Amino acid sequence: MLAGRLVTPDGILTGELQAGTTVQSLIPRRLKGPYILPGFIDTHVHGGGGGDTMDGAAGVRTLAAFHLRHGTTTLLPTTMTNPWERVLKALYGIKEIIQEADPNLPDIPGAHLEGPFISPKRLGAQPAFALTPTPERLSALLELEVLRVITLAPELPGALEAAHRLASSGVRISIGHTVASYEQAMTFLRSVRAAGGSVGFTHLYNAMGQLSSRAPAVVGAALSASDAYAELIFDLHHVHPGAMLAAIAAKPRHLLLVTDAIRATGLGDGESELGGQPVRVSGGAARLLDGTLAGSVLTLDQALRNAVACGVPLVQASAMLSSIPARYLGLNDRGVISPGLRADLVVLDDDLQVREVYLAGRKVVG
């Protein structure tokens, strides 16, 4: 049994929570205690604690264990644009971890493929190995049965056909790393939806055309498509607080916070790498040698604290880490503290620091 301030969609309730593998009951009580939130869900995470998705199974274990200590109970290991065979090898590593189903690691319902099907003109920190989504490459991906989300640039040759094929297999399509216009993005979005697919946006504001009065670009498409999901990296380096608040106003039920964390997360300032490229971490930001932001060193508990410090109510901030990404991924068994749902829980103190983490009702941190 846990007792404290339960963060639910209906507000913060004080009381006791009884759970086995799922939440069994919530009993209102007048009491003081820690905050109890649904476990965090990260749909975009490359690494952490010295591990990286591109390392294979061992790297995924390392990054998953690291982010669990920061409250992440479900995550999608995320690949980098690399030579095609290396991308496939990384996906095999993710599949190995999924099949192991280690109860001491966060749940991993699939992978996020960020690249190689992105624009070579909008790589961001991705290495220059962008490819087009040919039928043969799609077949190789789908045979693995591991993809949950794919970042795709709509303007690529064959992108729409690829999106339809992937969506029919249950893969979420996320627009990103793109030079598409507003019109191209909206046409793509409508077409994929008409085919029964789900469309989101990869790290809103970053690696896409910015909103202006006469050229709304992809940011304009993301904000105007209010019921399309969008990731946001809120480490205070990628996105200004005002831009974050504008995104919440445009899509209060469809904005989710992600880390985009890299291997160096949790290791402090110094030298690291991302996708084979040298990276320097300084002052909480990771950058390539040319100054380009290279993922982040963010954890989701810090993203929560950042959002609350910028005026986002705790209930709303919690939703951006739990119920909204759960809905985006179609995970109807988690994301909210409610009877019958998974007892994936994070216990925070008054300063919103992680004190305990529970996976399916079992304490794994604290």
Active-site positions? 260
Phi, psi angle pair for 151, to nearest 5°: -85, 130
| Kind and range of the H or E run holding 162 | helix 159-167
CA distance 255 to 229: 6
CA distance 233 to 293: 12
Q: Where are the beta strands (DSSP E) in the chain?
A: 2-8, 11-19, 23-28, 35-38, 40-45, 47-48, 51-52, 72-77, 111-114, 147-152, 172-175, 199-201, 229-233, 255-258, 270-274, 277-282, 285-288, 345-348, 354-359, 362-365
**Bridge partners for 173 per DSSP:** 150, 199
C-alpha separations of 84 from 87, 115, 193 in Å: 5, 10, 28
Strands 229-233 and 199-201: parallel
